[in-house]
Copies of this chain bind each other. A is one copy, B any other.
Amino acid sequence: MIDRLIERIDELKSPVVVGLDPTEGVVPESYIKEAVEEVELNKMAVATAYFRFGCEIIDAIADIVPAVKPNIAFYEALGYEGIGAYIETVKYAKSKGLIVIGDIKRGDIGSTAESYATHIGFTHAAGHDFKVWCEDFVTLNPYLGYDSIEPFAKVLSELERGIFMLVKTSNKSSKDIQDLPIAYTTLGTLPLYEYVGGLVNHWGKDFVGKYGYSKIGAVVGATHPEEGERLRHTMDNTFFLVPGYGAQGGSAADLRGFFDKNGRGCIVNSSRGIIGAWKNSSGASVGEAARAAAISMRDDLNSVL
């Protein structure tokens, strides 16, 4: 899948991933109202509205960007109705040819991690293998170490899937833990995220595809341009998923160093900047505004490559 992702980025000249992060702030009120009228139960109605909103975005950008990144937290806030909407949104995106990065940020110890690994694999239950989830990639938290990754690695060795490990996140407090100085050698220290980045790069060695990038990628926030550039050099086989462009402050110029010399090596996410673009455009529909914003972002990134 990492190869397919790279190919789609090349084909579309668009290292862009659209974050599907529905909230009531970004989904038009009319969508909620309409769904409430139809579905009666409000919780299910909001989940239905989130699903429809996602479909409209997907239809509008499927030929512009290679991937979408639904963040399960927003759906999970609605309980199982929301989880249903998440799963249906993932399926719809895939039916439109999009690669889906499930932003789930899971991480648990080995035996339990097998259960989370069903997000990219199969659930064995009652004598059958069920495809309960169907993300192409998921994001994972590294704090519990390799055995929390192992069940996912097993899936990677069997199926065309991928994972992105959190290395340096885009939020302000990422420094609290991720920037701590590790006493790595007698010569000096290096920040924790760089050490984790090295581990992730090492874990990915067995899964390197034809473009030199592994099925095990890393999340590196656009809000840390210098760190991103340094990680690009040290994490030579690791593809980056880059949040933080736009609404969180990262610009295209900041991102040049996240790409390799061939203009590859990362995909940049925008959520609110694309799915909330209708709020700043007079008269454009949700889909029209998202499409224009995705095109503009693609062109913005290409201008520095």
Contact = CB atoms under 8 A, between A and B. Distances in A.
Interface of A: 21, 23-24, 32, 36, 42-43, 45-46, 71, 73-74, 76-84, 87, 103, 105-110, 112-113, 115-116, 118, 123-128, 130, 132-133, 141-148, 166, 169-178, 180-183, 189, 192, 195-196, 199
Contacts of A125: 24, 32, 42-43, 46, 77-78
Nearest to A203: B176
Q: Which 6 A-B pairs have the closest CB atoms?
A: A145-B173, A145-B176, A109-B171, A147-B173, A73-B115, A79-B132
Contacts of A81: 80
Copies in the complex: 2
A171 B109 CA distance: 6
A74 B108 CA distance: 11
19 contacts: A24-B125, A32-B125, A71-B115, A76-B116, A77-B115, A77-B132, A79-B84, A79-B130, A79-B133, A80-B87, A105-B107, A107-B141, A142-B143, A142-B176, A143-B143, A145-B176, A177-B196, A177-B199, A180-B182
Contacts of A110: 171-173
A170 B145 CA distance: 11
A86 to B, nearest CB: 8
Given A71-B108, A76-B116, A79-B83, A144 B128 contact: no
Contacts of A45: 126
Nearest to A85: B80
